[in-house]
């Protein structure tokens, strides 16, 4: 058996699920009845004749939430590498200890990591408090 990367298993899974999806859609397309009509093809809005297009202007708050999400989620993703590496800095044996002492020899001591993430986290929190005070989260 040749050595295969684990990511190829994910690809196999995705292909399998895509296959199931295609089979389901095809089956229901082939089996189901097909009867058309102008009324039936109109939009269902509780029996009232639809007025205008549905893609209309919407509340700006939805847009604000999307912008906030972009900022916050990217900032939180930046926390992940730190979160995974930080506990290993305190390792006392094995390869992790070698890695941590190499880092410390180059100036990246645990204190550096704490101060660095402290500044990053302070910026994140200040931004969050600013948005809160600005009333971005007011929905009523």
Binding site for other proteins (CB under 8 A): 1, 4, 6-10, 12-14, 16-18, 20-21, 24-25, 27-29, 31-35, 38, 40-46, 50, 53-56, 58-59, 61-62, 65-66, 68-69, 72-73, 76-77, 79-80, 83-88, 90, 110, 114, 117, 121, 124-125, 128, 132, 137, 139-140
Nearer to other proteins, 41 or 107 (CB): 41
Nearer to other proteins, 58 or 107 (CB): 58
Burial of residue 134 (CB within 10 Å: 0-12, 13-18, 19+) is: exposed
Nearer to other proteins, 16 or 98 (CB): 16
- Quick one: how far is CA 84 from the chain centroid? 18
User: Tokens at residue 77, please?
Assistant: 């993703």
Report in angstroms how near the CB of residue 3 gets to other proteins at its nearest. Answer: 9
Sign of CA dihedral 8, 14, 16, 18: negative
Q: Report the alpha-carbon distance of residue 121 to residue 114 in Å, rounded.
A: 10
Q: Report the alpha-carbon distance of residue 116 to residue 85 in Å, rounded.
A: 13
Report in angstroms how near the CB of residue 76 gets to other proteins at its nearest. Answer: 4
Q: Yes or no: say if 124 and 75 are a contact pair by the CB < 8 Å rule.
A: yes
Report in angstroms how near the CB of residue 37 gets to other proteins at its nearest. Answer: 10
């Amino acid at each position: 058996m040749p050595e295969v990367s684990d990511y190829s298993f994910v690809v196999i899974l995705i292909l399998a699920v895509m296959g199931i999806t295609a089979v389901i859609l095809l089956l229901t397309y082939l089996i189901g009845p097909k009867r058309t009509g102008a009324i039936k093809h109109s939009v269902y809005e509780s029996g009232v004749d639809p007025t205008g297009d549905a893609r209309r202007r919407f509340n700006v708050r939805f847009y604000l939430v999307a912008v906030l999400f972009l900022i916050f989620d990217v900032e939180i993703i930046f926390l992940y590498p730190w979160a995974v590496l930080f506990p290993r800095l305190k390792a006392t044996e094995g390869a992790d200890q070698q890695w941590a002492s190499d880092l410390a020899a180059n100036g990246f001591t645990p204190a550096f990591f704490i101060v660095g993430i402290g500044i990053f986290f302070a910026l994140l929190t200040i931004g969050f408090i600013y948005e809160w005070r600005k009333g971005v989260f007011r929905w009523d």
